[in-house]
A = this chain, B = another copy of it.
Amino acid sequence: MKKNKRVGMLVDELTSNPSRLFESRHFCEKYDIAKSSLSEDIRLANEILYANGSGHIESISGVGGGIRFIPGISDEQISELQQNLIEMLSDRSRMLGGGFLYTSDIMFDGSLVHDMARIFAQQFAGRGADYIVTVETKGIALAAQTAFMLHLPLVVIRREARYSEGSTVSINYFSGSAERIQKMSIAKRAVKPGTRAVVIDDFMRGGGSLKGVVEILGEFEIEVVGMGVALGSLEPERKKVEDYTPIVIIDEIDEENKRITISANEALKSGE
């Protein structure tokens, strides 16, 4: 097989299986090449991925080692995504009153979700998480794509305990947005005690819902090692959780003058 075909196949297979570790032998046998040729192919594949801002290939040597594709996103692509989101979210027809915006179309748009997930994969790859966790419903597509990119299982916390979840643990928490006590419920068999989770959600205002997630995971002694939300909010200044990562932020929803002000989270960029 010719080198240019091999390298293209390598790029396709690795990027279709993000964060998954492949033994070098897998590719050497598939292409019938020596390890030294594979190393050269990997070098070129890395150049290709870097040029597209898609991420990079990590090589782990020794027993249990191999190669894997680590998804990423360039600063330029982050800015472009944020500008898109800002433009879409600033559309006054999204105003629902009471400080709510219609965002379901954005949270279920495959291309936007794909790029948002690349940001979270890049941010949280090194945290040693065992799961990605979200609360139903609007953050599921984003959390699922982030989980896929990090090759981690996704755990979806339900609002109500469902029969199809088997035995569950539930908590009550106070939601500031809904201004009432709400419930969340997690399947016992979905998680193992003493593990680590990254939490992904669509929106955070005061952080009541995310604090609920931290609490219910605490019931299993699961440590939250990262929190990412598509859309944050400047108000209220005091949040119920710390260290969350928004992609864009609602600065103000001025219902009287029908104006929505959204800004980018500049801290996402690596500055490279």
Binding site for B on A (CB under 8 A): 3-5, 7-9, 11-13, 15-17, 20, 44-45, 47-49, 51-52, 54, 96, 98, 100, 102-105, 108-111, 113-114, 136-138, 140-141, 144-145, 147-149, 151-156, 158, 163-166, 187, 189-190
Q: Are B17 and A148 in contact (CB under 8 A)?
A: no
Closest 8 CB pairs of A and B: A110-B148, A4-B4, A8-B48, A141-B144, A108-B154, A140-B140, A8-B11, A136-B137
A189→B3 contact, CB < 8 A: no
Let me know if B163 and A4 touch, CB within 8 A. Answer: no
A16 B13 Cβ-Cβ under 8 A: no
B113, A44: Cβ atoms under 8 Å?
no
CB closest residue in chain B, given A49 = B12
Asked if residues B148 and A190 are in contact (CB atoms below 8 Å), the reply is: no
How many copies, total? 2
**Which chain B residue lies CB-closest to A109?**
B153
A44 to B109, Cβ gap below 8 A?
no
**Cβ-defined partner of A166 (8 Å) among B15, B96, B111, B165:** B96
Neighbouring B residues of A108 by C-beta, 8 Å: 144, 147, 153-156
The smallest beta-carbon distance between A67 and chain B, in angstroms, is 15
Interface centre among A12, A138, A140 (most CB of B within 10 A): A12
Contact: A148 with B187, CB < 8 Å? no
Whether B9 pairs with A190 at a CB distance below 8 angstroms is no
